[in-house]
Amino acid sequence: MKKLINAIDDVVKEQLEGMAVAHPDMLKIHFDPTFVVRADAPVQGKVALISGGGSGHEPMHGGFVGKGMLDAACPGEVFTSPTPDQMYEAAKAVDGGAGVLFLVKNYTGDVLNFETAAELAFADGIKVQSILIDDDAAVKDSLYTAGRRGVGTTVLAEKIVGAAAEAGYTLEQCADLARKVNKYGRSLGMALTSCTVPAAGKPTFELGEDEFEIGIGIHGEPGRERLHMKTADEITEMMALAIIEDGAYSRTVREWDNEAGDWVEVELVDPPLQSGDQVIAFVNSMGGTPVSELYAVYRKLAEICNDKGITIVRNLIGPYITSLEMAGCSITLLKADDEILKFWDAPVVTPGLRWGA
C-alpha cells in the first residue's frame, strides 16, 4: 500500500482538519462526535439537509456542505457507516426550526444508523424526515437482497434538494422532491481496478489486468459480471443500455411519520426512462480514472441517448462520488422536469460543487 498517510487511524480526522483549514468560509468541523456543518449553521427557518456515510467517496459528502446544498455531513471511517450520535448531534446543530431531512444511501449499516438517529432527534422535539436513495440499476430485485444501493443519484439529490431548502421549501416539500429525484434517477458503475482501504492495507478485491467488472458498487460490492476488457465505446454502451432499458423497479421502504412518531412502510415504484424524456447526465470517476476518459464515455453516452430519443439537458462530469483510488466510472441518468432543472441551476457554494454565485 502506497498512500499519502501519516497514521492509519488519523486518515479521516486529518482529511477533515484539512477541509476546515481550506474552506473556513463554507464549513466548520466538529469532533467527538464527528460532523461537518455549514459555516453559518443553523440557518433560521430553513429546512436542514443532512447526509453522511462511510468516508472514501470524497468529495461526497463533506465536500458538498455549504450554501445551496448540505447543512451537515456525517463521515464514518473509510467505507464504514457513521454512528447515530453523529447524525443526532449534527441535527441539533443545524436545525433552524423548520426540521431536518436525512438523505440516506441504501446500505444496511447506513439505514439502521440513520433510523436510530431519526428516533433520537424526534424524541428531542426535532421534526425529522428520512429519504432513501437507492438508484443502482445493477441490483435487479429487492425481494431477495437489501435492495438497490445508493450511488450517483445521491450527489444530484443533495444539490437539487439543497437548493429547494434554500428557496424556502417545507420539510414535506423537500422530502417529496428528494423522493422524486430518487425515483427518476438510475445509475450503473464499473471498475477497472480495485481499491485499498487504508485499515485493510490490501486491495478489497482482485481484478485481472485484462478484466473489468460491470455493475460494481461504490465499496467494491460485486457487480453483474466480470468481463474481458473492451473499448470505451463498448463499455459505455453496456452501461447506458442497462440504465435506459431498465424496467420499473418496486420495493417497500420505511419513512418516518412525524404525526405517529413511528416508521411507516411506503411502497415505491420507479418508472423506466422513455423516449422523449429530458435528463441530467452525470459521468463520474471512481477516483482513479482521469477526466479525459470520462469525456470519451460522455461522447458515446450522448450519442446513445440521442439514438434513444432521450435529450441530455444538463451534465456533470468529474470525480464526485468516488471509491478511493479505484479506476472506473459510473453513469447516472436523472429524468429532469422543470422543478428539478430549476433547482439544479440554482446557485451552490461548496468545496465540491460551485456555480451561479
Partner 1 sequence: MVTRDQIVQWLEATATVMTENREYLTQLDAAIGDADHGINMTRGFNKVMEKLPSVADKDIGNILKTTGMTLISSVGGASGPLYGTFFMRSGMALASKEELTDDDLFKMLKTGVEGIVQRGRAQLEDKTMFDAWSPALDAMQAAIDNGQDTKGSMKAAVDAAEQGMKDTIPLIARKGRASYLGERSRGHQDPGATSSYLMLKALLDTLEK
Give catalytic residue positions.
Answer: 57, 219
Residues of this chain that interact with partner 1 (CB under 8 A) are 33, 76-77, 79-85, 107-109, 112-113, 115-116, 139, 144-146, 200, 217, 219, 221-222
Residue 144: count of CB within 10 angstroms of its CB: 7
Which CB sits closer to partner 1, 109 or 272? 109
| Residue 167 to residue 194: CA distance in whole angstroms | 41
- Enter the C-alpha cell of residue 68: 445551496
Between the alpha carbon of residue 193 and those of residues 138, 196, 222, 287, the distances in Å are: 18, 10, 13, 10
Shortest Å distance, C-beta 296 to partner 1: 29
- Least Å from the CB of residue 274 to partner 1: 28
DSSP string computed for 74-93: EEEEETSPPPHHHHHHHHHH
Residues 6+ apart with CB under 8 A from 109: 80, 81
Quote the CA–CA distance of 110 and 61 in Å, as a whole number. 13
Q: Which residue has the cell 431477495?
A: 144
Is 104 or 164 the residue whose CB approaches partner 1 more closely?
A: 104
Contact 139, 149 (CB under 8 A): yes
Q: Please, which residue, 222 or 356, has the CB nearer to partner 1?
A: 222
* Closest to partner 1 by CB, 108 or 306: 108
Query: 106 is written with which cell numbers?
Result: 441504501
- Bridge-based pairing of strands 328-335 and 185-191 is antiparallel
Nearer to partner 1, 107 or 169 (CB): 107
Query: Residue 278 and residue 286: Cα distance in Å, rounded?
Result: 25
CA angle 253–322–86, rounded 5-degree value: 55
Say which amino acid occupies 192: L
Output the smallest distance, CB 201 to partner 1, in A: 11
Task: Extract the C-alpha cell encoding 53.
Answer: 456515510
Smallest gap from residue 178 Cβ to partner 1 (A): 22
19-54 burial code (b ≥16 CB/10 A, e <16):
bbeebeebbbbbeeebbbbbeebbbeebbbbbbbbb
C-beta closer to partner 1: residue 83 or 278: 83
Amino acid letter, 328 = G
Query: Least CB distance from residue 352 to partner 1, whole Å?
Result: 24
* Min separation Cβ 127 and partner 1, Å: 22
Which grid cell is 54? 462511510
